[in-house]
Amino acid sequence: MTTSSSSSKQNISLEEWEGKMAEVPIAKNDLNQLIMNYLIIEGYKDAAEKFSEESGLHSSVDLGSIDERMQIRVAVQSGDIKTAIERVNDLNPDLLDTDPRLYFHLQQQHLIELIRQGKAEEALEFAQDELAPHGEEHPELLRELEKTMALLAFDPSSRSPLAELLDFAHRQKTANELNAALLAAHSQPKEPKLPALLQLLAWTQEQLDEKATYPRINNIVNPVLEEQSGAKETA
């Protein structure tokens, strides 16, 4: 007789699950490092300084450099690409010279801002003088340039097929790419570790769902173990 997949799952009670979790050693310093990593990479300077004082954890990163990165990020998020590029060159003169794709994306964002402002003639001139040469040197970037130039065929105030380029999310994407490059240039991780751990948690629970009924975290904002139906009776 074939046993159904649901009845073959192992049932784990909340008490048993918490007992197993208690057996896993986690050093407080590791948790502090994880929090500090997030605060530094995401640019929360004041919070990082306060946390450093309270935890006694000393970062190898100059916390003062966070302000410079955040000023650059805010400039991109505000559409002030020229200021962002100037600040990058002051902070790290070689970065944009050694990363042509990043420089292209910054120039592309500036082109988008010109189109957003209705400066079609200036946008065309800028694309020809600044972006076209990059496309010749790096053919893979030509499609991105062509897609951006197609915005000129639509009213910036309308919802065109290319409207996502005009969304704030595109500025944020460019700002994140630049922030990651600045971090890497200073031998820092490009991404905080905490979001990756949360993704790992979600993936692990999905895998475990196929094999067992157990207390799971259903809301990462309020991470409480919730006992699932069928888990109260241990198999």
pLDDT tens profile 64-118: 789 999 999 999 999 999 999 999 999 999 999 999 999 999 999 999 999 999 9
Q: What is the DSSP string of 1-66?
A: -PPPTTTTSEE--HHHHHHHHHTS---HHHHHHHHHHHHHHHT-HHHHHHHHHHH-PPPSS-THHH
**Residue of higher predicted confidence among 232 and 146:** 146
What is the tens place of the pLDDT at every residue in 127-171?
999 998 887 788 888 889 999 999 988 776 667 778 889 999 999
Tell me the whole-structure pTM to 2 decimals: 0.74
Q: How far is CA 1 from CA 4, 39, 166, in A?
A: 9, 56, 60
Burial of 40 (0-12, 13-18, 19+ CB in 10 A): buried
Q: How far is CA 213 from CA 9, 13, 197, 200, in A?
A: 7, 8, 22, 19
Percent of the chain with pLDDT over 70: 93
